Structure formats: structure tokens, C-alpha cells
Amino acid sequence: MTVLPELGLVRSGDLDKVLAAVDYEHAPYAGGTELVPAMGLGLRRPAAIVDLKRVEALKGIEVDADAGTVTVGAAVTHRRLSDHPGVRERLPTLAAAASRVGNARVRSTGTVGGNLCFAEPRSDLGCVLVALGAMAEVRSARGARTLSIDELIVGAFETSLAEDELLIAVTVPFEPAGTSYWKLQSYERPTLGVALVATDSQWEVTVGAATERPTRAVIAAGDAAGLAAFVDSLELSDDMTGPSDYKRSVLRARLQRALGVEL
């Protein structure tokens, strides 16, 4: 029988106390849907977990009509995000993506912050948030900084967070007309995600799940050659969800259909 090593628990509702506790040996714990399996596999062995679930400062959802933004606390679950009336009204694509994450257990316990900070490539939220130009508020006992989601997720399972930093919230501009998100999914997590913000003048295309991190290009509307070059340039994963050639042809087909071009 495997004996699990002793594990400490830091639990407080006070954000400053939580921030003072976090470091490599004291891992933030939100829903645990990624952290617990990683610990079970021995991939992560913190001396203690720092519970974020009691920190109200991480659980808010605020719609700011003057600024034209929605701010979502890092410990907001997928379910709360998808059910929130303000999110549904102002960020309908994000709300729909959150409503289709994983399964009911993951949606009820998994959080926005855990999703982004684990940086598993096969994610929906990272792709949609990069497409929408969301900004992350990050804090440690040393201070605070703001960065784009593109700067936060720097690779597969890799973020630019320091070991003592917490993601506090993400601030998302109201979704513009022409925004959509589509995913190919045959297992529990997405195989390919495509977020589009298409206007009369430009196509903003963000590809996720099959890429190491959400990858965005801005292309002049109607520039089929530019779009084809972007599709060809992507390094797509070759794994149990399918070979890269297959994912590339699905991506091409999706873009053709959504944008009405021949690629």
C-alpha cells in the first residue's frame, strides 16, 4: 500500500495571509481538479496546500459598464462563470465555453484561475480569453502587476508566475460583435479550439488546445493567403487525440466555413 506523505494545510479568508503563505512548497489550491491528480502521480509534492476557496476577494464577478469590462475572480468556478447574468450578457462566448468545460464535477469545482495557472494546453478558457484581450491581475506579498493572458501562459503547463505569485482576477473587455468560439472534442478535454473576432476590416484568429499555448493572429479581412499561411505555420500537437495533419485540416475547414473563404 502506498503511504501518502504528510501534507500541511494553510486556510484563511484573508488574502494577505494567503499571499504571505504561497511559495513553491506551499501550493495554491482552488478546486484541486488538476493539483490533486498531479500530486497523486507524484508530479507535484508540496509540503502544504494553501486553500483559496475561503478568500472572498478571489470570488467576485463585477460588471463595469463605464469601463466596458467584466472582472472575474480567480477562484470563480466554471459553473458560476457560465451562470452569471452579467457574463452571459456581456461575454456570451466565454459563458458558453465555460458551460461546456469537462463534466459537471469539473465545472462545479474547477476555477478560472486554476485553469489558467495550470496552463494545460487542452483548455477552452485560455483560448477565449486571449481572443478577447483579457488582462490578468497578479499579486504576491511583494506587490502587484498586470499582464495579458498571452504573457501569463508562456508554454505547455508553463506560466510566467513567480512561485510566490497568485492570480487574483482577470478583466475582460465586453465581447465585440463577430466573436465566436468553436471546439473539436472527442475526449474530456478539447482537441482543437478556434476563437474568432471577425469584423469588416480584420479577422482575429486564436487557436488553442492543439497548440502549446493559445496562438493569435490578426489578418486583414479577405486575406485568404495570409490566413492560410497562419494555419500552415502553426505547430499542432501529434498525440492520442489525433495527428497534426488531421487537426490542421479540421482547422482549415472550420475557418473556411466561419469566414467564407477558400483555403
Q: How far is the CB of 68 from ligand FAD (least distance, A)?
A: 24
Of 15, 78, 100, 20, residue with least CA distance to 52? 15
Q: How far is the CB of 147 from ligand FAD (least distance, A)?
A: 13
> Does 214 engage in binding with ligand FAD (CB under 6 A)?
no
> Does 72 engage in binding with ligand FAD (CB under 6 A)?
no
Closer to ligand FAD at the Cβ: 56 or 232?
56
User: Of residues 59, 84, 110, 219, which one binds ligand FAD by CB under 6 A?
Assistant: 110
Q: How far is the CB of 211 from ligand FAD (least distance, A)?
A: 14
Size of the chain, expressed as the number of residues it contains: 263
119 vs 28: CA distance, rounded Å: 14
> Does 76 engage in binding with ligand FAD (CB under 6 A)?
no
Helix (H) or strand (E) holding 10: strand 8-11
199 vs 178: CA distance, rounded Å: 6
Helix (H) or strand (E) holding 102: none
Closer to ligand FAD at the Cβ: 59 or 254?
59
> Does 188 engage in binding with ligand FAD (CB under 6 A)?
yes
Question: What's the CA dihedral at 226, 211, 154, 201 to 10 degrees?
Answer: 30
User: Of residues 18, 19, 33, 215, which one binds ligand FAD by CB under 6 A?
Assistant: 33
Q: How far is the CB of 31 from ligand FAD (least distance, A)?
A: 3
218 vs 146: CA distance, rounded Å: 23
User: Quick check: helix, strand or coil at residue 16?
Assistant: helix
Contact footprint for ligand FAD (CB under 6 A): 27-35, 52, 74, 101-103, 106, 109-111, 113-115, 117-118, 123-125, 161, 166-167, 188-190
